Amino acid sequence: MTANVVIDNATIVHRERAAATRLAFTDGRIASAVPGALRLDLAGHLVFPGLVNAHDHLHLNCIPPLVHAAPFPNSYAWIDAFEHHHDRPEVKAAASIPRDVRHWHGALKNILCGATTVIHHDPWHEAFDLADFPVRVGGNRHWSHSLLLGQSRSDHPPRYGPDVVASFRATPSTEHWAIHLAEGTDDVAGRELAALDALGCLAGNTMLVHGVGMSESDIDRMIVYGASVTWCPASNLGMLGRTLDPRRLFNAGRLSLGTDSRLTGSHTLLDEMRIAARNSDLTAREIFRLVSRRDGGLIPGLPADCIILADVTDPYDALLAARRSDLRAVVRNGRPVIADHDFAEWFAHCGIETTEVFLDDAPKLMARALCRPEATALERGLRMAS
């Protein structure tokens, strides 16, 4: 059903500014004005655009992580070690859960912390096209896993995923093409940017994930080409013991932030933002830019995705400090997904049936359609109230 809503008296937070303005939703999009709307007085609140998680593997978030005593020199060494880890009973059990359930769980992980858009780096799944799938799976369907896993040889196909060159050539220049690259600290990782360029796969639509092993001259080269890097500091630090210095990439407008999956990465995108802050000189406002749409996200005509937080301090500092239980509401397509109990009228106005839940021990109302039992059971910190 159509659910027109107007938010009054809140501070609307954009990439460059925060100002007290009216915000209207209609037909799932931001509007200039709407008739017959439910009016919500949110004085003392901040409204942010829904966050963007620029790198995740949605189906891997319930797989127990690999415990290791020392950093790996590169991701390929981690992959080899994981082959043995995969034989553990608890890992086999998690991997045997149907993929549609695991994808739904990965989406829950994201929506619960305000990430309404996720870039998934693996094969497209039909679940992503469902109208009630918890997040918007954005970005692209064009990818290769990595250079060593994604190159065809004369005697065998790629080890995993699409062939690097074939996938890149099939990608329209107007759409992103993603690949893990330079995920390591050794010479193997250090040679990958040049190797990708030699294959003809470095261009303005190339999205490099990780990039830890890139040299300063590599960064010069990718900036000239117009390529970008998705930074996943928690995953880098946990697997490799090191991450990149993001400053030059940020200043060039060539950087975004992603969690990776919980196999190697942080628990939520909010956690990842704090890890990024601790391991760089980026300000809270700059880190917000890494997880928000380049067009700002809260302008008429765009999807009405947002998160609502109590206004207690500088808005960018408030978001950087927030835990997912602190979010007063997460909204997708103008409709609340999970919110505090005093937003019950908003759910009712939208015709949304709710379930009482606890999120990290905080009582919440959650849209019942999202509470797929086999998926919610996988999410640590989320439990039904009864």
Q: What is the dihedral of CA 324, 329, 53, 249, to 10 degrees?
A: -90
How is residue 9 written in tokens?
């008296």
Residues 136-145: pLDDT tens digits?
Answer: 998 667 999 9
CA distance 112 to 257: 17
Looking at residue 36, what is its pLDDT?
Answer: 81
* Of the candidates 16, 20, 82, the residue with the CA atom closest to the CA atom of residue 46: 20
Looking at residue 3, what is its pLDDT?
Answer: 81
DSSP H helical segments within the chain, as ranges?
75-85, 89-95, 99-111, 147-150, 164-169, 187-190, 192-198, 216-225, 233-240, 247-251, 269-278, 284-290, 315-321, 344-349, 373-376
Looking at residue 21, what is its pLDDT?
Answer: 80
pLDDT at residue 59 is higher than 70? yes
Query: Mean pLDDT throughout 129-156?
Result: 87
Task: Please give the share of the chain, as a percent, with pLDDT higher than 70.
Answer: 99
Looking at residue 113, what is its pLDDT?
Answer: 98
Q: What is the mean pLDDT of the chain?
A: 94
CA distance 44 to 33: 22
Confirm if 219 and 191 have CB atoms less than 8 A apart.
no
pLDDT at residue 222 is higher than 90? yes
Residues 252-299: pLDDT tens digits?
Answer: 999 999 999 999 999 999 999 999 999 999 999 999 999 998 877 788
Confirm if 117 and 330 have CB atoms less than 8 A apart.
no
Query: Mean pLDDT throughout 221-234?
Result: 98
DSSP 184: B
Looking at residue 45, what is its pLDDT?
Answer: 96
CA distance 180 to 165: 14
pLDDT at residue 65 is higher than 70? yes
pLDDT at residue 1 is higher than 70? no
pLDDT at residue 71 is higher than 70? yes
CA distance 306 to 157: 43
Looking at residue 240, what is its pLDDT?
Answer: 98
Q: Which amino acid is at 35?
A: P
Residue with tokens 């990842």: 272
CA distance 61 to 296: 29
Between 147-151, 194-198, 294-298, the lowest mean confidence (pLDDT) is in 294-298
Query: Mean pLDDT throughout 142-167?
Result: 88
Confirm if 378 and 70 have CB atoms less than 8 A apart.
no
Residue with tokens 């080409």: 225
Residues 310-340: pLDDT tens digits?
Answer: 988 899 999 999 999 999 999 999 999 999 9
Is pTM beyond 0.85? Reply is yes
Query: Mean pLDDT throughout 106-126?
Result: 96
Looking at residue 139, what is its pLDDT?
Answer: 61
Domains and their CATH numbers in the chain: 5-49+295-351 (2.30.40.10), 63-96+141-290 (3.20.20.140)
Looking at residue 2, what is its pLDDT?
Answer: 60
Q: Which residue has the higher pLDDT, 20 or 375?
A: 375
